[in-house]
Amino acid sequence: MATKTKIVKRVRKPAAQEMDGVFVLKMVLFVILGSLWVKITKDGSSLHIPIPIGLIVGLLFTAHDHFAIDRKIEYAVLVSAALFGFVAPYGLFITL
Protein backbone atom coordinates (compact mmCIF):
# COMPACT_ATOMS: atom_id res chain seq x y z
CA MET A 1 0.00 0.00 0.00
CA ALA A 2 1.23 3.41 -0.94
CA THR A 3 0.72 6.28 1.44
CA LYS A 4 -1.02 9.35 0.15
CA THR A 5 0.27 12.78 0.98
CA LYS A 6 -2.05 15.67 1.49
CA ILE A 7 -1.44 18.85 -0.41
CA VAL A 8 -2.29 21.88 1.67
CA LYS A 9 -2.97 25.06 -0.24
CA ARG A 10 -2.39 28.27 1.60
CA VAL A 11 -4.79 31.03 0.86
CA ARG A 12 -3.27 34.49 1.05
CA LYS A 13 -5.32 37.29 2.43
CA PRO A 14 -5.33 40.37 0.23
CA ALA A 15 -3.43 43.31 1.67
CA ALA A 16 -5.54 45.98 3.34
CA GLN A 17 -6.48 48.42 0.60
CA GLU A 18 -7.57 51.96 1.29
CA MET A 19 -10.34 53.46 -0.75
CA ASP A 20 -9.48 56.49 -2.86
CA GLY A 21 -11.66 58.78 -0.79
CA VAL A 22 -9.87 57.79 2.41
CA PHE A 23 -6.50 58.47 0.80
CA VAL A 24 -7.59 61.91 -0.45
CA LEU A 25 -9.04 62.77 2.97
CA LYS A 26 -5.76 61.78 4.64
CA MET A 27 -3.76 63.94 2.23
CA VAL A 28 -6.04 66.94 2.82
CA LEU A 29 -5.73 66.51 6.57
CA PHE A 30 -1.94 66.22 6.31
CA VAL A 31 -1.79 69.43 4.24
CA ILE A 32 -3.88 71.31 6.79
CA LEU A 33 -2.04 69.83 9.75
CA GLY A 34 1.43 70.23 8.26
CA SER A 35 0.93 73.91 7.51
CA LEU A 36 0.19 74.91 11.11
CA TRP A 37 2.93 76.85 12.85
CA VAL A 38 3.19 78.60 16.20
CA LYS A 39 5.17 81.83 15.79
CA ILE A 40 6.36 83.48 18.98
CA THR A 41 7.56 87.08 18.83
CA LYS A 42 8.67 89.46 21.54
CA ASP A 43 7.20 92.94 21.36
CA GLY A 44 9.81 95.59 20.59
CA SER A 45 12.49 93.02 19.80
CA SER A 46 13.73 91.12 16.80
CA LEU A 47 13.11 87.77 18.53
CA HIS A 48 11.04 85.49 16.28
CA ILE A 49 10.70 81.80 17.13
CA PRO A 50 8.74 79.66 14.65
CA ILE A 51 7.71 76.19 15.85
CA PRO A 52 6.31 73.69 13.30
CA ILE A 53 3.76 72.17 15.67
CA GLY A 54 1.58 70.77 12.87
CA LEU A 55 4.55 69.04 11.25
CA ILE A 56 5.50 67.41 14.55
CA VAL A 57 1.97 66.16 15.21
CA GLY A 58 1.62 65.02 11.59
CA LEU A 59 4.85 63.04 11.77
CA LEU A 60 3.61 61.31 14.91
CA PHE A 61 0.33 60.40 13.18
CA THR A 62 2.14 59.16 10.10
CA ALA A 63 4.59 57.03 12.07
CA HIS A 64 1.75 55.28 13.92
CA ASP A 65 -0.72 55.01 11.02
CA HIS A 66 -2.14 51.49 10.82
CA PHE A 67 -3.31 51.73 7.20
CA ALA A 68 -0.26 53.43 5.68
CA ILE A 69 0.07 52.81 1.96
CA ASP A 70 3.28 54.66 1.38
CA ARG A 71 4.72 56.75 4.17
CA LYS A 72 7.12 58.50 1.83
CA ILE A 73 4.18 60.22 0.13
CA GLU A 74 2.71 61.25 3.47
CA TYR A 75 6.07 62.62 4.66
CA ALA A 76 6.48 64.57 1.41
CA VAL A 77 3.01 66.11 1.76
CA LEU A 78 3.71 67.08 5.37
CA VAL A 79 7.06 68.71 4.61
CA SER A 80 5.68 70.56 1.56
CA ALA A 81 2.76 71.86 3.61
CA ALA A 82 5.13 72.92 6.40
CA LEU A 83 7.25 74.94 3.98
CA PHE A 84 4.13 76.59 2.59
CA GLY A 85 2.79 77.26 6.07
CA PHE A 86 6.04 78.93 7.09
CA VAL A 87 5.65 81.71 4.52
CA ALA A 88 1.84 81.93 4.60
CA PRO A 89 0.38 84.51 6.96
CA TYR A 90 -1.76 82.15 9.01
CA GLY A 91 -1.22 80.08 12.10
CA LEU A 92 -1.02 80.92 15.76
CA PHE A 93 0.90 84.11 16.51
CA ILE A 94 1.98 84.73 20.12
CA THR A 95 3.37 88.12 21.07
CA LEU A 96 5.08 88.43 24.43
Q: How many domains does the chain fold into?
A: 1
Query: Do 35 and 77 form a contact (C-beta atoms < 8 A)?
Result: no
Lowest mean pLDDT among 1-5, 48-52, 71-75: 1-5
Q: Which domain holds residue 69?
A: 20-88
80: pLDDT strictly greater than 90: yes
Q: Looking at the domain assignment, is residue 96 inside a domain?
A: no
Q: Looking at the domain assignment, is residue 38 inside a domain?
A: yes
Dist CA 83 CA 80 (whole Å): 5
Q: Looking at the domain assignment, is residue 29 inside a domain?
A: yes
15: pLDDT strictly greater than 60: no
Q: Looking at the domain assignment, is residue 94 inside a domain?
A: no
Q: Looking at the domain assignment, is residue 56 inside a domain?
A: yes
Q: Looking at the domain assignment, is residue 71 inside a domain?
A: yes
Would you state the pLDDT for residue 17? 61
Q: Looking at the domain assignment, is residue 48 inside a domain?
A: yes
32: pLDDT strictly greater than 60: yes
Q: What is the mean pLDDT of residues 5-24?
A: 73
* Paired residues of 40 in beta bridges: 49, 94
Q: Looking at the domain assignment, is residue 55 inside a domain?
A: yes
6: pLDDT strictly greater than 70: yes
Give the CA distances from residue 79 to residues 1, 85, 95, in Å, rounded to whole numbers and listed in that order: 69, 10, 26
Q: Which of 62, 63, 50, 59 is nearest to 90 (CA)?
A: 50
